[in-house]
Structure 1
Amino acid sequence: MQLNIDFNKNNDGLVPAVIQDEKTKSVLMLGYMNEEAYQKTIETKKVTFFSRTKQRLWTKGEESGNFLALKEIKLDCDNDTLLVYVNPVGSTCHKGDDTCWAEENEAKFGFLSELETIIKSRKENAEDEKSYVASLFRSGINKIAQKVGEEAVETVIEAKDDNADLFLNESADLLFHYLILLQAKGYTLKDIVKVLEERH
């Protein structure tokens, strides 16, 4: 599908192209495309920019081999900015980093990732007598697994009823304790997502 990109809005004929990892949704870099760079990107399936420094077309990875394999391009509401979904091959930044902001290109799960960080902290400080999570880690894997089993049964019971509030609360308890179990076994949500992706 050909996009109706307004390359003439700016005098230089360039539009910004925000590069985002298709899987992790991390923003990897920002580049600029003119019409020729856009067409080459579509044709080769490798992201190509117009380099303002080199004053020529530049395919990301043409020297390093760290290409950006094109998955999809979306156009914003003003028709003058591109969102480019890619699968990166190697690092994106010329400094060797995953992104041009020196961040790791890893999946993030919003509040659940924050919760995992808190649980990890409680595991590392298991002597904290005021923390319920720390007390579970002190009790060991059997107690943690038992709690997951209890919460799973309670969730199933509430699923068979019509009280949405109770069902959602039991579901939250189940997920919370499952995250604790994952940490106790040395894993995180990313490991589970990887298995699901492989199955998919």
Structure 2
Amino acid sequence: MFEDLLQSSASSSLLGAIVLLLLLYLWSSSLSSPTNQRELPGPKPLPLLGNLLQVDLKELDSSLFHLSKQYGPVFTVYFGLKKVVVLAGYRTVKEALVNHAEEFGDRMITPIFHDFSKENGILFTSGDTWKEMRRFALSTLRDLGMGKRSTEGQIIEECDNLIEEFKKHKGKAFNNSRTIAYASTNIISALVFGKRFEYSDPELHTTVERSHESFYLAGTKSIQNI
């Protein structure tokens, strides 16, 4: 019986080694194929791991920006077996998303967000559905006054409130990220709901905190891999 267990264990190990070698072969073959010779520049990926050892997943934006200094504003990285094209810098992103919006209209939707949104809304849709929802959203926002002089007064009023909030610190250094978030949230709230909040309002704090937490969680490795 002991010998049978040893033989079974050896067979399992041999099978695992064969599968691993096959994956390595397929990986090396895909990288050496003629279609990949025209790929964008980027760090050389490792088998199975890709470039995961070359980036800090906790500070992914900083890691990718650092790589852009070596490989340029448009380059390729592999998160495991997943190929990702990175656009780095304001000009590059604007060129892609504004000047070539149609070509960049499709995007990969993480499965958990696909199940959550059921292909509705703007943030978690792609292709023709996203384009239709985008047109509807822009049309609705214009009806609410976006891009018109009617919204100028609300924005100026919020800017005045923001300046007064800054003055409370009397020239001392402070973290202005939350205050600016409160101001931008107030502008959206005033346009959509006709109401703004005081910067000390707990309801405003809760809204901004939950929004930030949602965006943070959406970018974490555990969510992206689901």
State TM-score, norm by structure 2: 0.29
The structure in which a higher percent of residues are strand is 1
Q: Which of these two proteins has the greater Rg computed from alpha carbons?
A: 2
| Greater helix proportion | 2
